[in-house]
Amino acid sequence: MVDVELKSRSAYILKFILENPESSSIKQITEKLNITRRTFYYDVEQINDWLSSEGLGKLVIKSRMVTIDSDRRDELVNRIKRNESYFYSIEERRILELIFISLSTEVVTIEKMQKIFDVSKNTILTDIKEWKAALIGLDISIVSTIKVGYVLQGEEFTIRKMIGKQIKKLENFQPKIVLGKWMQESLAKISGEEYDYREIARCLIKQYEQDENIKLVSENEEFECSMILVSWIRSMEGYTVVLNAEERAALAVTCPYQSLKKSFQKLKEYNLEIPNSEIYYIATLLLGIKIAQFVSQDQENLYIYRFTASLLKNFERIACIAFENRERLANRLRGHIRPLYYRLKYGMQSTNPLLKDVMRMYPEIYEFTERSVRAMPDELAQTLTDDEIAYLAVYFISDEKKQVVTNTVENKSKILVLCAAGMATSTLVKEQLKELLGNIADIEVGIVSEAEKYRLDNYTLIVSTSYSDILNQHRNTIFTEVVLQDKDKRKIIQLLNQYGIVGRYDRTIQRIIASVEDNLTGQIEKNELYFDILRILYEDGKRESIGEQISFRGYMEDGCFVKIPKTGDMEELLIKGCQTAVHEKSWKRLYDRLYNMIRRHRLKYYEIQKNVVLIHCPMQGDMNRSVGFSVVVSETVIPITEYISGKIFIFFVTIDQRTHFALLKEIYDYCDSGEGRELLETVMED
């Protein structure tokens, strides 16, 4: 008697019929298994041969329904339960086919996959065709050659994500066992050592848990074990994930990376190595992704570019300015946003020691930056803390258009500002020096560790927030706090005076000092007096640049706003707004300017709250110009474009890049205050 073997698919069909005796139709079975009727009838023959050899009855097909005719049904049920054959679902088979192609160290052929999955050549070819179509969107392709068989081609970062996604779909125990067996066989062949590689992966995770004093979720741990083995196999076969420098820098200080680095160093003693780039990749697995994932690094880069562009656009319309060198600022911002993105990607929040100083010294720019961030519906933007926003504000502070300067020195002196690390601290010091000195010198920024690369003797003044022996050797070095104190400013003025450098207020100050000397007896401390007068003149200059401006609160509470009736439209709104916002000789020019901006989709606006819209009215170059505003209230919602509509419109007039900041902040703060919101609601209802 010839032994008859019950194949996995045949066993699955028999099991399905036993479990569903009342509803086992040919159509149900063929659709469930995605097989043809011809294949089904072939399997029925195989099943009947086995049943006959075991004396367990036979399958009967009547009226397209399949039943079992057997006097030993209970025994048959028990035999099928003990049968170790496993029939893969279509999804399981296709997932394992793709993983087999990804992780096998042998030449992957159709014949091998036929044998593994007990299916026909046509089925394998159909599955591969389906995968090729599905992977096009990820820029991954399946190619084959006689020498290497089937392989995946594409960005390794994307391939790993795809493999991980497919592994997570394997829910049943048997496919997971098969996957584990393949991984073990591949690693044993690569290394020549018969270690338990899954256990090694588990130990790497346990060591990290011990180092960090945490406990990972068991389900995550099993997946991470699998992905560590994927990383090991693929990298040893020459397919490595290479993260960019900013992401590696963010990961290098994390506990997972430090723990893994030590563990893999120990594994070298057992001839088990992995490329260093893969340690960064495995660290990302243990950290987990805290914000939206992208399928490729190219998509990540594109996201950072778009995030930066959106932030710049928001700041321009909220601060009512236009950046002169937008691309330069964008490049600098991207240099900060990229590592910021990676920190937040892995849940690493940073603390900004400059936060309170930035908020105190530059309240308007900080608020405009915060509003620019909060106006973005982006997940990353919503996770930014005040500390991170302050760092971003520093870049806008440094790009603020410089004040008009009266310096007449053609060959400017050079000042170098250095900090311990990063550029935010030195940039903040640079801006304070500009406020103090005007435009008497070119100011460069850098970091202390790179001091030797500068020709320090070429600088009139070196200001450093961190001590350095190299800098201390130069008599023109001043060590200061990040926020310049009065003592720091005095030292700077004294040193610059020693070198005969004059600033924007120097002539006025010298005349005042001379007058004081003529009218007082005894000696005076000229350096002290020079600094005190400089500070007074600068503060008065700031106040004068703002000018006499009406309070927005008083304007609204006194009902100074203009109303237009229900029949009012966009044209009437613009006319009323322009007539009341600027000088009577200028309103037509402003109207034409705004109308052209609307037509060319360049109007800058900001919806402060629902139906309350601020419209930027730039009047640079106009003879009768001054910073100001007017408010027009409509009884009904007026659309200006498909994106802009409201009932309260604030026409805000600017004359340069900065003199309007204080008034603009007052408007925003009042509109967001409780009493401001209440008044605006009342105005709209009335």
Is 1.10.8.50 the CATH number for 88-154?
Answer: no
Whether 413-543 shares its CATH topology with 552-685 is answered no
Enumerate residues 6+ apart whose C-beta is below 8 A from 518: none
Place of tokens 């979720």: 217
Enumerate residues 6+ apart whose C-beta is below 8 A from 185: 105
CA–chain centroid gap for 236, Å, is 31
- What is the token pair recorded at 159? 């391939």
Rounded distance, CA 309 to CA 326, Å? 9
End-to-end CA separation in angstroms for the chain: 99
Residue range 370-394: average pLDDT? 90
Written as one string, the DSSP assignment of 656-681 is SSSTTHHHHHHHHHHHHSHHHHHHHH
Q: Which residue has the higher pLDDT, 404 or 610?
A: 610
Residue range 563-571: average pLDDT? 89
pLDDT in tens, 428-487: 888 888 877 776 678 888 888 888 888 888 888 999 988 888 888 888 899 998 888 878
Residue range 134-152: average pLDDT? 92
pLDDT in tens, 218-263: 557 888 899 999 999 999 999 999 888 888 888 888 888 999 999 9
Nearest alpha-carbon partner for 212 in 246, 279, 263: 263
Side-chain-side CA neighbours of residue 367 (13 Å): 19
Residue 575: pLDDT band with limits 50, 70, 90: very high
Q: 511 burial class (0-12, 13-18, 19+ CB within 10 angstroms)?
A: exposed
Residue 141: pLDDT band with limits 50, 70, 90: very high
Spell out the CATH class of 8-82.
mainly alpha
Q: What Å distances lie between residue 562 and 32, 275, 565, 617, 629, CA to CA?
A: 71, 70, 10, 17, 12
Phi, psi torsion values for 565, nearest 5 degrees = -75, 175
The confidence score (pLDDT) of residue 501 equals 65
- Taking CB atoms within 8 Å and a gap of at least 24, the contacts of 133-137 are 135/162
The confidence score (pLDDT) of residue 2 equals 44
**In terms of CATH, what superfamily is 413-543?**
Response regulator (3.40.50.2300)
Q: Would you state the CATH architecture of domain 297-398?
A: Orthogonal Bundle (1.10)
pLDDT in tens, 533-566: 766 665 555 444 444 557 899 999 999 999 998 8
Residue 217: pLDDT band with limits 50, 70, 90: low
Phi, psi torsion values for 418, nearest 5 degrees = -125, 145
Q: Which 8-state DSSP code applies to residue 446? A: E
SS3 655: coil
pLDDT in tens, 495-513: 877 776 655 566 777 778 8
Nearest alpha-carbon partner for 232 in 275, 194, 265, 266: 275
Residue 649: pLDDT above 90? yes
Report the 10 Å Cβ neighbour count for 97: 24
Residue type, 444: E
Structural domain boundaries of the chain?
Answer: 8-82, 88-154, 172-286, 297-398, 413-543, 552-685
- Whole-number average pLDDT of the chain: 85
The confidence score (pLDDT) of residue 528 equals 66
Q: What percent of the chain is predicted at pLDDT more than 70?
A: 89
Residue 405: pLDDT above 50? no
pLDDT in tens, 348-366: 777 887 888 889 888 999 9
Query: Is 60 within 8 Å of 30 (Cβ atoms)?
Result: no
Q: Which residue has the higher pLDDT, 439 or 25?
A: 25
Nearest alpha-carbon partner for 618 in 643, 648, 589, 576: 589
Residue range 78-88: average pLDDT? 70
The CATH classification number of 552-685 equals 3.40.930.10
Rounded to 5°, angle at Cα 26 from 22 and 28: 70
Residue 662: pLDDT above 50? yes
